[in-house]
Structure 1
Amino acid sequence: MKLPVILLHSSPAKACSTLSGLLPLLLCTDALAFSFSAGDLTGSLDTTLSYGQMYRMEKQDKNNDDINTNDGNRNFSKGKLVTNAGSIVSTLKLSYGDYGLTLKGRGYYDHQIAKNRNDYFKNSRTEEPSQADPYNSFPKKTRELSGRKAELLDAYVNASWDIFSLPFQVTAGKHVLNWGESMFYRGGVNSAINPMDLSTYRMMNYNLNDLKELYIPMEAVSFNLGLTENLSMEAFYQWKWKETVLPPVGTFFSETDVLADGGNTAWADQAPELFLLVRDIYPQAIQDSCSILFGLYDPCDNGLLGLSPGVIMDGIVQVAKMAPKRNARNDGQFGLSFKYTAQALNNTEFGLYFVNYHSKEPILVGDMGGYQGYSMLPLVLGQPFWNGRGLGNILDFITNPAGTIERWGIDAGLLMAIDAAGTVRGWRQYPEDIRMYGFSFATEWAGVSWAGEVTYRPNMPIGIMTTNDLIADLVYQTPFAIDTNPITRLIHGGDGTATVMGQIMTLEDTLYNYERVEMFNTSLSAIKFFGAGLTFDSSLLLFNIASEHYRGSSLKYTGYDTSQPVSLQKAGLVERRLTGRGNRSYYEGGTDKDQISKDAYGFTLSFEGTWNNVFGLTLKPFIVYQDAFKGNSHMTGNFVEGAKAYSIGMRAELDNLEAEMQYTEFWGGGMNNQMRDRDNTSFNVKYSF
């Protein structure tokens, strides 16, 4: 869930004296608003209309086709329209003496998502399922979030007083808090407080001038108290929790079909030759076993026994239905900060922070949905009577009894795994009460604006297993975990448990795919404004380097050895590293190098020039380069080692009108970089009044 590289170009602002650090320099641009007054009441109304399109410029990488992450990649062919969206954003500000009111609303419509079909059938195997119905459409939730929406963003009141001669400001309602000095990379102070709308940001082709549109306003009360001329205290309390909005399933930049809105089913294509083996006999095999052996032992009193059509296809099996997400609680999110300006150090501002918050990104949780287990013995003994395979099974047993019994056991176990899969439930959950401590500075030195930040989380939740390793471990162990028959348990060595993420699990247990670790995040940024030179009337150079560091954990877990051939005997256990940002599974050939690193680094470099009065236009060419040069982040972190991207484009401005075109290319990072084939070109126009 990296921030999109297209956000990184910017224009200098003229007046941001009330805010500190580098980020406000980029957020505060001159507004073109309609102003009015009536006595002591003053107000302004600022409206921006925008329209944009994006096209895919690279064909799909045939190896970038994981069954639980590929809907967005399959839905758009090279040269096809990805977004076709228009929006309106209006902000009303009223001021009366020491009091103020701000209301901001947004509406958007993306015809490509809301109404059009996609290229699913052109880019997919016929039997491969989609999260949408029909497959070449978009899920209902995706259309609701990315197709059309009207929403109230900011809605707050603010006031300023003096308390015992100390300046005091308070804000209450839906608003965005600007704490810390992090810029392009998540994990800083700001990302602990404000969730992000990555879906809308990418859909509307926003750039850094629109960075304020990335953050979701939160219901909160916040205040600032000036303790001395150089020292101030800030605090907030949020009374409602919201999550970061990931690109919904099936949209161009979506990276998960399970943990984002629009996902409803998790699938497995592990060991497809075994799934193909029973394709034609399930669920008839269970029914035949029940009818033939009824009276000797009835296996029909447990299990689902007859899943709905679509649970098993050619080599693909449903392994979980996604239940509604379980949100974090609304209370318990608060923070405190102190800011000190050291006049003797060139007016350097230092900040100290503490925030208690609930995760904005989901982790996967699941259980067996009340499944009670199943007896393997009748399914083994009943195979001579299976419709269409009875005579062959009898002859096989006569010529090779040991091998045939082994195969019967494997087939029976697979049927049990398929049967159990019909009851598995998964859902998104958000760990609570994460503590964050931070330090920041902002200063001016050698004509450059500098800012830095360090944050520490002693109990940061990070993912343990990749989605496909989790599925493979469960599929391979299911027969041993759900078998209720003591005779077959003696044969295969199962004891009604499975080892998942280093934990011994039973049918009654709930699976939480995360571990809490210590995490440090750092960020150092520099901005340099230049005057005339290199043919430009002015220019801007921006650099930001960031890192992530994990401590307090071995970053390893014990998993099931799925590298061994499927057998009637329970296999051994193996040691693995926690999943990295690329979600590259061991089952599909991933190694330790593909997983999380103890330390990960990346940087962004951006340059923008300005040519004034070019046939009456202001032209601003820009180029942005982003490089994750060392280490892999955790599952929802910033970095995939070796992943790179650049954007190059031109923006033209004429009074209230702005137009922009750009091209973005992603490369590097190998199989871990899901964005490696999402090169695109886009244009948008905006009119403000």
Structure 2
Amino acid sequence: MNKHSFSKTRTHVAVRNMIAAGLFAAAVMPVQAAQFKVGDFDLSVNSTVSAGTSFRVEGRDRALFAASNTDEQGLAGTGLSSTGDDGNLNFDSGDAFSTIIKGVHDFELKKDNYGFFSRVKWFYDYTLNKSGVPHGNGPNGYTPDARLDDNGFHPYARFDGIDLLDAFGYINTEVGGMPLDLRLGKQVISWGESTFILSPIAGLNTIDVSAFRRPGAELKEGFTPAEMLYANLGVTDNTSVEAFYQLKWRKTVPEGCGTYFSSSDFAADGCNFVTFGPQPDQTAITTNALSVSRTLDRQPDDGGQYGLAIRTYAAELDTEFGAYYLNYHSRLPLVSILTSSTGAPYGLAAGKDGRYLIDYSEDISVLGGSFATNVGGWAWSGELSYTMDQPIQLNAFDLLQGSLAFNPQSNFTQRLQAAPPGSIVEGFDRFDVTQIQNTLIKTFDRALGASQVVFVGEAAAVFVSGLPEAGPGQDRYGKAAVFGFAPATGDFNGFVTDFSWGYRLRAAATYRDVFLGTDLIPSIAWSHDVDGWSPEPGQAFNEGRQSVGLGLGFEFDANTKASISYTTFTNGADYDVLRDRDFVSLTASYSF
């Protein structure tokens, strides 16, 4: 048996992922790793150090921060909740929101057919560490003009740090004449065919959201590993069986409250208050009657997370097919309520000891299938997944109205009244969700005067089974609290719908040796959520949301690069809390 025959069927998939990440040039011009001998072992070291800064280039939309809060000009917002506006209020047009230096270092120690791989990253954000902001966040007590406080933040979300990412041992051997690859330790597993739009199959991996927001972000910085045992057995030349068992539960880490892209002031680690009412955050956080505190998160068990994948290559169709089954616990934060132990008749505020908590549900099962082929010079891949018992967050304002005031117009009130004192009432329900997506990739040689142009497009649709239509007397899901309490506003749009879809497009051209040996790589990316609102948390589609990204990369040699990019969010989405966050980024990197 050819030990490497199956891996060859995956070549176009790996290239697709690099293209989608904007790394195609790096793929065809690899950086030579530093090589050393350590006794009988070979040690290779790959490093990338980068610096960059990002600036806001659009003023605030007053509809996206609360009437109880004001900007530097003293203008009050027109939004209907203060639970997600800290990031907007802390940075005005022209302000830098991140100025960072960071590094990623890969180490591989190997001998014969076994070895050990590890990855370490470090970062320091000068802006967040040194610059004051006008509004603040919960950890700094909403102190005006002070620096944000990252005390209590998850290490990934802090403003500086050193993190061990991957750390696993591996061996490539044979069992009964069949090649077997084994890995044990912290690692990321790449399953499925999604590129831009995260699928439930790829959702087995966790994400460091802050890392993806930093200037010059790379994929390997943002996808965070978990402790797993992984095996890949080549049962024939064209078929493999893969399996994993996760040994420790890990979660996706959102941005810290008060940072530029944060859309929740209370869900991230270290962000422990929900403020409400007519007073500004600085007042509400010190007043029991105007804020609710957070209790301990409810985290799932480490065990019970596993997956199986079968891939086969049909030579007569030039197509690889995949089938998947996974069971894992929620990686995304959900909000639930711990009722008052006194059974107070007016909810959390009156009971004083009622709390909210961040919840993670267990046992989300995913069935999926995929294909990857080439048609007429286009790489075409697709994926179908069926997720059983996916948790979907109830509307935030309904939770507030039910838990703070026992408002009869909130269905959540009935759940609270039926719960015994001091018990947890889940702020989410479970539904079966189907997702289908397709990806197309094409490389055009010597087009538009360039050496090559690479195009990537992906579209996806999401279907939720049994979801009630949002309306009076119905449970409502998703939609940020800043858009108000639907029975009061009369606006029942923007909630999670049973169908949603959108697409992503990206094109990049490479112009070789334009000046002094420098390659220029202009790029454009377009994202459009066409119809419907998909499940939260982790919402893929928000109807009308569009963004355009323009970039220009400079490759001075295989090691040295720089870029400038501009990203704009259109105002086409009525219920997008990030629609006013246009920004510019400048980055430079050196690999060795």
For residues 123-134 of structure 1, the aligned pairs below 5 Å read 130=138, 132-134=140-142
* 1:510 and 2:510 are equivalent in the alignment: no
In the TM superposition, what is the alpha-carbon distance from 1:186 to its structure 2 partner? 2.0
Q: Deviations over 1:493-519 (max 9, x none)?
A: xxxx98346973453442101111110
* 1:311 and 2:288 are equivalent in the alignment: yes
Inter-partner Cα distance in structure 2 for 1:308 and 1:60: 23
* 1:642 and 2:572 are equivalent in the alignment: no
In the TM superposition, what is the alpha-carbon distance from 1:261 to its structure 2 partner? 2.3
* 1:48 and 2:48 are equivalent in the alignment: yes
1:234 aligns to what?
Answer: 242
Contact 1:632–1:641, Cα closer than 8 Å, also in 2: yes
Q: Deviations over 1:342-378 (max 9, x none)?
A: 01102x000000000000001111123422437xxxx
Contact 2:348–2:354, Cα closer than 8 Å, also in 1: no
Secondary structure of residue in 1 paired with 2:206: coil
Contact 2:106–2:120, Cα closer than 8 Å, also in 1: yes
Contact 1:41–1:95, Cα closer than 8 Å, also in 2: yes
1:425 aligns with one of 349, 355, 365: 355
Bigger shift: residues 441-450 or 106-115: 106-115
TM-score where L is the length of structure 1: 0.75
Amino acid at match of 1:310: T
2:304 aligns with one of 321, 324, 332: 332
Rate the CA distance shift 1:24–1:507 in 2: closer, same or farther, 3 A. Answer: farther
Bigger shift: residues 545-554 or 514-523: 545-554
In the TM superposition, what is the alpha-carbon distance from 1:593 to its structure 2 partner? 2.1
2:531 aligns to what?
Answer: 630
2:342 aligns to what?
Answer: 371
Secondary structure of residue in 2 paired with 1:68: coil
For residues 19-168 of structure 1, the aligned pairs below 5 Å read 19=10, 22=13, 24-27=15-18, 29=27, 30-37=30-37, 41-65=41-65, 66-120=81-135, 130=138, 132-136=140-144, 137-139=147-149, 140-142=151-153, 145-168=157-180
* 1:439 and 2:369 are equivalent in the alignment: yes
* 1:675 and 2:572 are equivalent in the alignment: no
* 1:658 and 2:561 are equivalent in the alignment: yes
1:570 aligns to what?
Answer: none
Amino acid at match of 2:361: P
Contact 1:356–1:433, Cα closer than 8 Å, also in 2: yes
2:233 aligns to what?
Answer: 225
1:593 aligns to what?
Answer: 493
Inter-partner Cα distance in structure 1 for 2:286 and 2:16: 57
Rate the CA distance shift 1:141–1:667 in 2: closer, same or farther, 3 A. Answer: farther
TM-score where L is the length of structure 2: 0.87
Contact 1:581–1:633, Cα closer than 8 Å, also in 2: no
Inter-partner Cα distance in structure 1 for 2:172 and 2:548: 44
In the TM superposition, what is the alpha-carbon distance from 1:540 to its structure 2 partner? 0.4
Q: Deviations over 1:294-345 (max 9, x none)?
A: xxxxxxxxxxxxx995234xxxx11x20123222211111000100100110
1:176 aligns to what?
Answer: 188
Contact 2:16–2:441, Cα closer than 8 Å, also in 1: no
2:443 aligns to what?
Answer: 529
1:449 aligns to what?
Answer: 379
Secondary structure of residue in 1 paired with 2:323: strand
Contact 1:63–1:671, Cα closer than 8 Å, also in 2: no
In the TM superposition, what is the alpha-carbon distance from 1:424 to its structure 2 partner? 1.8
Rate the CA distance shift 1:621–1:17 in 2: closer, same or farther, 3 A. Answer: farther
Secondary structure of residue in 2 paired with 1:452: strand
Amino acid at match of 1:141: G
* 1:475 and 2:475 are equivalent in the alignment: no
Q: Deviations over 1:150-182 (max 9, x none)?
A: 011111111111111111110111111011101
Rate the CA distance shift 1:309–1:146 in 2: closer, same or farther, 3 A. Answer: closer
2:326 aligns to what?
Answer: 355
Inter-partner Cα distance in structure 1 for 2:459 and 2:178: 38
Secondary structure of residue in 1 paired with 2:519: strand
Secondary structure of residue in 2 paired with 1:594: coil
Rate the CA distance shift 1:541–1:420 in 2: closer, same or farther, 3 A. Answer: same
Amino acid at match of 1:25: R
In the TM superposition, what is the alpha-carbon distance from 1:21 to its structure 2 partner? 5.5
Contact 1:350–1:440, Cα closer than 8 Å, also in 2: yes
Contact 2:9–2:313, Cα closer than 8 Å, also in 1: no
Rate the CA distance shift 1:107–1:506 in 2: closer, same or farther, 3 A. Answer: same
Inter-partner Cα distance in structure 2 for 1:557 and 1:504: 22
Inter-partner Cα distance in structure 2 for 1:222 and 1:22: 20
1:575 aligns to what?
Answer: 474
Secondary structure of residue in 1 paired with 2:140: coil
Q: What value does the CA root-mean-square deviation take over the aligned residues?
A: 2.6
Rate the CA distance shift 1:118–1:621 in 2: closer, same or farther, 3 A. Answer: same
Higher helix share: 1
In the TM superposition, what is the alpha-carbon distance from 1:200 to its structure 2 partner? 1.3
In the TM superposition, what is the alpha-carbon distance from 1:96 to its structure 2 partner? 0.5
Contact 1:113–1:146, Cα closer than 8 Å, also in 2: no
Contact 2:154–2:253, Cα closer than 8 Å, also in 1: no
Inter-partner Cα distance in structure 2 for 1:365 and 1:419: 15
Rate the CA distance shift 1:308–1:672 in 2: closer, same or farther, 3 A. Answer: closer
In the TM superposition, what is the alpha-carbon distance from 1:579 to its structure 2 partner? 2.5
Contact 1:557–1:578, Cα closer than 8 Å, also in 2: no
* 1:618 and 2:519 are equivalent in the alignment: yes
Contact 1:660–1:685, Cα closer than 8 Å, also in 2: yes
In the TM superposition, what is the alpha-carbon distance from 1:199 to its structure 2 partner? 1.0
Rate the CA distance shift 1:134–1:513 in 2: closer, same or farther, 3 A. Answer: closer
Amino acid at match of 1:179: W
1:190 aligns to what?
Answer: 202
* 1:549 and 2:444 are equivalent in the alignment: no
Secondary structure of residue in 1 paired with 2:133: coil
2:211 aligns to what?
Answer: 200
In the TM superposition, what is the alpha-carbon distance from 1:525 to its structure 2 partner? 0.4
Inter-partner Cα distance in structure 2 for 1:363 and 1:623: 34
Secondary structure of residue in 1 paired with 2:116: strand
Q: Which has the larger radius of gyration?
A: 1
2:315 aligns with one of 326, 331, 343: 343
In the TM superposition, what is the alpha-carbon distance from 1:546 to its structure 2 partner? 1.1
1:492 aligns to what?
Answer: none
Inter-partner Cα distance in structure 1 for 2:134 and 2:450: 43
Rate the CA distance shift 1:498–1:462 in 2: closer, same or farther, 3 A. Answer: closer
Rate the CA distance shift 1:513–1:417 in 2: closer, same or farther, 3 A. Answer: closer
Structure 1, gaps ≥5 residues long:
1-15, 122-128, 280-306, 375-415, 481-496, 559-573
Contact 1:49–1:687, Cα closer than 8 Å, also in 2: yes
Amino acid at match of 2:542: V
Q: Deviations over 1:409-455 (max 9, x none)?
A: xxxxxxx6685253221111100011000100011110011110011
Inter-partner Cα distance in structure 2 for 1:598 and 1:498: 20
Inter-partner Cα distance in structure 2 for 1:188 and 1:214: 17
2:260 aligns to what?
Answer: 252
Structure 2, gaps ≥5 residues long:
1-6, 66-80
Inter-partner Cα distance in structure 2 for 1:322 and 1:639: 29
Rate the CA distance shift 1:580–1:419 in 2: closer, same or farther, 3 A. Answer: closer
Inter-partner Cα distance in structure 2 for 1:353 and 1:47: 34
Identity of aligned residues (%): 27
2:76 aligns to what?
Answer: none
Contact 1:332–1:433, Cα closer than 8 Å, also in 2: yes
Rate the CA distance shift 1:654–1:51 in 2: closer, same or farther, 3 A. Answer: same
Contact 2:340–2:347, Cα closer than 8 Å, also in 1: no
In the TM superposition, what is the alpha-carbon distance from 1:37 to its structure 2 partner? 4.1
Inter-partner Cα distance in structure 1 for 2:422 and 2:172: 55
